[in-house]
Structure 1
Amino acid sequence: MDWLKEHPEVRTIRVAAADLNGVARGKRIPARFAPKVFTEGTRFPFSVMNLDIWGEDIEESPLVFETGDCDGLLLPTERGFLPMPWLEAPTALLPIWMFHMDGRPYAGDPRQALARVKDRYTAQGLTPVVATELEFFLIDDSGKTLRVPPSPRSGKRRTGGETLSLRALDAFDAFFTALYEACEAMDIPADTAISEAGPGQFELNLVHQPDPLKAADDAWFFKQLVKGLARQHGFAASFMAKPYDMWSGNGMHTHFSILDETGNNIFNDGSEKGSDALRQAVAGCMAALPGSTLIFAPHQNSYTRLVPNAHAPTGIGWAYENRTAALRIPASGPAARRIEHRVAGGDVNPYLMIAAILGAALVGIEDKMTPDDPIIGNAYAQGLAQLPATWNMAINNFDNCPFIRRIFEKELIENFLMTKRQEIHYMAELSEEEQTELYLDTV
């Protein structure tokens, strides 16, 4: 509450939690009633955490009519208040997560799912250190065809990708300056920004955090911030997996290492290849990939990104310093030895994504799994086992994957499956243009 006292200009707050699709669900509350949220929490139905991408109830869900659409209890997370610089009036965001009325965490809450994985690491004296890289497009969606917005500086539009182009970054300097200022105000650790391969495509890295919950929070807040701030500047921003057929899509790559109780990186054995624990974590992640692809590619549009020779992995393999592989071990000093997981698109729920990655890595370590040999050269030409190529295949693999059941609780698994099966049913009624319009802002 001290934050609100220091910011008397804030007259309203938004309390919000991430549903299974990563969409913010919540309420608007006058700031003078904010203390009640801390003392009593707020309530909305359990079913709200399990809506489809349109925001509709899941038709077969027991959370709706079977249980009377009863309420859960939502309490503030440890993050506290954050400013919302993309709104006109001074406003604060208060992140919340869901519990049962008796105080038990609600298993269908994605943030609670990640907290459960974190607790498993803590019980073994381990601390995951996580960083994310988020790609997004700036888009002029005012017409029938998506285009890169004109540069506020020159009034010109880029017609192609300009990888690592300072000119492309400087064309939107006002937007990026505002973005960095907003990240600092929201305690989002924004680091390097670059232009990417697509027109109007950029990537921004968030620095490593020794707390996977904070890393996921940061990614979730960042997505809301970028989309809101872009609208404030007169264009759209989108994390959808592939807005343009002819260009590479948006990824959300995740880097992680694991510290022991003394703060030593267990992936480091002083060698360039890394420790047995690193290879065990790699093996767990690879074995879980067929089942966890639905987490990393949760939407119809996601699978247009996962195609050969499009800078997104399609095969299940790992390698040292090789960006064609699904799992890459970047070149680094021994103390910074880490794994980069490159499968997820920008359209993911960050809580589920990080839970799936860390959960699979821990299974690999617990079971002392051994990976296949690392690949050398172009992963697309290796004849590797493939990730699920379609949304339907990914749904079925998720349903039948034993690794998923070691990572996530039964209720979340069943809710996610019902959500995706309902979406795949109704998505068939939409044209490609209607799908793009839907995904552009929601994911």
Structure 2
Amino acid sequence: MKDWLRKHPDVRTIRVAAADLNGQARGKRVPARFADNVVKSGTRFPFSVLNLDIWGEDIDDSPLVFEQGDQDGILKPTERGFMPMPWLEAPTALLPIWMFRENGTPYEGDPRHALATVVNRFKAKGLTPVCAMELEFFLIDDSGKNLQAPASPRSGKVRKAAETLSIRALDAFDTFFTDLYDACEAMDIPADTTTSETGLGQFEVNLMHCDDALRAADDAWLFKMLVKGLARRHGFAASFMAKPYPEYSGSGLHTHFSVIDEKGDNVFDSGGPKGTAMMKNAVAGCLNAMHDSALIFAPHQNSYERLVPGKHAPTAIAWGYENRTAAIRIPAGNPTARRIEHRVAGGDVNPYLMLAAILGAALDGIEQQMEAPSPIVGNAYAVEGLAQIPTSWEAAIDALEQSEIVSRFIHPELIKNLVSTKRQEHHYIGELTDAERTELYLDTV
């Protein structure tokens, strides 16, 4: 880590940052000359900082605050090390960190540790998840009273309709995307294909598959930070909020995953299109936990405006082969790449919690050898009798709080903290106008 700073003598300051339960970066600014202290000893801030609401306020009656004296945790650098922050004007380095207790054990309320716990359970069975993510986001001109797509830097024109898979739409923002890919390379984020999507000013960037789930979640978290920061340098906003425009589809964060064994073989590969029994166990586990873990996939009030029938987001708890109307899709293609696509999460999620919930549920299904129901053929929105993903924020909060399933793979303390956070947000967001809610979510999520 010290070598990176020596190779970048122009860096004058660093940011040390951890992800809170909402995926917000919480941390400190430190002069680069004191970076050695952070690398050697870590830094400190209260446990409660990872359990703030979307405004950055303490949670009312949280035991982490007054009851426990608002004690400090110790935050140590992750394996990622230093990286540049290309969206800032001055040369600056980011050092991702995560939280531990004074005795060196991981803090159970840290979302990155939640994912690490699930990954370690896979490792104990000689298994390794391989993950890739597709992140959708909107480019937005938020300078006026109403949101709209930003004017193209090339033509000065505003794109007023969805242009699915449009090369013209990509070319209109070529300067931004060129800078974005250069920044991803500098930050070692494996950005692959970009497409224009079905929303107004909406795009999707795929991140390459990775056999390190923690790194995959890091990539998604860092990518969201980068896109939002870089867009502002270009004179507009970028947002991962689930649904900024009521009349257009929202933004998802689809996750593809397979599992390899100690020999490097894909345990979902049956040699044909149907996949193995273990793959179907994993599918069953994901379906079994989907209702109770909906709050993790749809964490905000605005999230539930995306989860409506016929708008490219799943509503029924179902799976199918090569079927994008289902919550779980098994893509076609070479059997050696057989994988599960989990399509529920919105772009507004915390990637660490999302991946912990997906992989934890899949492993739960594998361990218990759960049997998947029959795959859906055709339009899942039109199939009667299917269990449904919660349709409201309040219902999802209740479901997670009462769940016995999710507590099998996510620590009860983190669940309790998350539920308390969302209950507080639910209360105060009810006092806001639609415009105030949009403004809140536009920049935060």
Shorter-chain TM-score tier:
over 0.9
Deviation at 1:333, TM superposition (A): 0.4
Match of 2:319 in 1: 318
Match of 1:433 in 2: 435
Deviation at 1:432, TM superposition (A): 0.8
Within-5 A mapping of 1:5-404: 5-383=6-384, 384-404=386-406
Deviation at 1:130, TM superposition (A): 0.3
Query: What residue identity is the alignment partner of 1:254?
Result: T
Partner of 1:64, secondary structure, is helix
Q: Aligned equivalents of 2:200 and 2:394: distance in 1? A: 30
Q: Aligned equivalents of 2:345 and 2:159: distance in 1? A: 27
Q: Aligned equivalents of 2:412 and 2:324: distance in 1? A: 34
Deviation at 1:177, TM superposition (A): 0.1
Cα distance per residue 1:290-327 (max 9 Å; x no partner) = 00100000000000000000000000000000110000
Match of 1:418 in 2: 420
Cα distance per residue 1:318-359 (max 9 Å; x no partner) = 000011000000011010000000000000000000000000
Structure 2: 5+ residue stretches without partners: none
Cα distance per residue 1:93-119 (max 9 Å; x no partner) = 000000001100000000000000000
Conserved? CA contact 1:219–1:350, under 8 Å: yes
Deviation at 1:19, TM superposition (A): 0.0
Q: Aligned equivalents of 1:232 and 1:306: distance in 2? A: 32
Cα distance per residue 1:227-273 (max 9 Å; x no partner) = 00000000000000000000000000000000001000000011210
Task: Give the 4+ runs in structure 1 shifted more than 6 A.
Answer: none
Q: Aligned equivalents of 1:227 and 1:203: distance in 2? A: 14
Conserved? CA contact 1:60–1:418, under 8 Å: no
Partner of 2:232, secondary structure, is helix
Structure 1: 5+ residue stretches without partners: none
Conserved? CA contact 1:153–1:172, under 8 Å: yes
Q: Aligned equivalents of 1:321 and 1:130: distance in 2? A: 18
Deviation at 1:407, TM superposition (A): 1.1
Query: What residue identity is the alignment partner of 2:97?
Result: I
Q: Aligned equivalents of 1:5 and 1:91: distance in 2? A: 13
Deviation at 1:7, TM superposition (A): 0.2
Query: What residue identity is the alignment partner of 2:131?
Result: V
Partner of 1:63, secondary structure, is helix
Partner of 1:9, secondary structure, is coil
Deviation at 1:222, TM superposition (A): 0.1
Partner of 1:134, secondary structure, is strand
Q: Aligned equivalents of 1:82 and 1:193: distance in 2? A: 23
Deviation at 1:45, TM superposition (A): 0.3
Partner of 2:171, secondary structure, is helix
Partner of 1:151, secondary structure, is coil
Query: What residue identity is the alignment partner of 1:378?
Result: N
Match of 2:410 in 1: 408
Partner of 1:430, secondary structure, is coil
Q: Please report the RMSD computed on the Cα atoms of aligned residues, expressed in angstroms.
A: 0.4
Deviation at 1:39, TM superposition (A): 1.1
Cα distance per residue 1:20-65 (max 9 Å; x no partner) = 0000000000000000011111000000000000000001210001
Query: What residue identity is the alignment partner of 1:21?
Result: N
Q: Aligned equivalents of 1:229 and 1:329: distance in 2? A: 34
Query: What residue identity is the alignment partner of 2:204?
Result: E
Deviation at 1:179, TM superposition (A): 0.2
Query: What residue identity is the alignment partner of 2:126?
Result: G
Q: Aligned equivalents of 1:115 and 1:43: distance in 2? A: 21
Conserved? CA contact 1:19–1:48, under 8 Å: yes
Cα distance per residue 1:178-219 (max 9 Å; x no partner) = 000000000000000000001110000000000100000000
User: TM-score, normalized by length of structure 2?
Assistant: 0.99
Deviation at 1:160, TM superposition (A): 0.5
Q: Aligned equivalents of 2:387 and 2:73: distance in 1? A: 42
Partner of 2:56, secondary structure, is coil
Query: What residue identity is the alignment partner of 1:159?
Result: K
Identity of aligned residues (%): 70
Query: What residue identity is the alignment partner of 2:210?
Result: Q
Deviates more, 1:123-132 or 1:403-412: 403-412
Conserved? CA contact 1:14–1:27, under 8 Å: yes
Deviation at 1:402, TM superposition (A): 1.6
Partner of 1:53, secondary structure, is coil
Query: What residue identity is the alignment partner of 1:368?
Result: Q
Query: What residue identity is the alignment partner of 1:411?
Result: E
How many residue pairs were aligned?
A: 443
Q: Aligned equivalents of 1:250 and 1:397: distance in 2? A: 23
Deviation at 1:141, TM superposition (A): 0.2
Q: Aligned equivalents of 2:81 and 2:333: distance in 1? A: 35
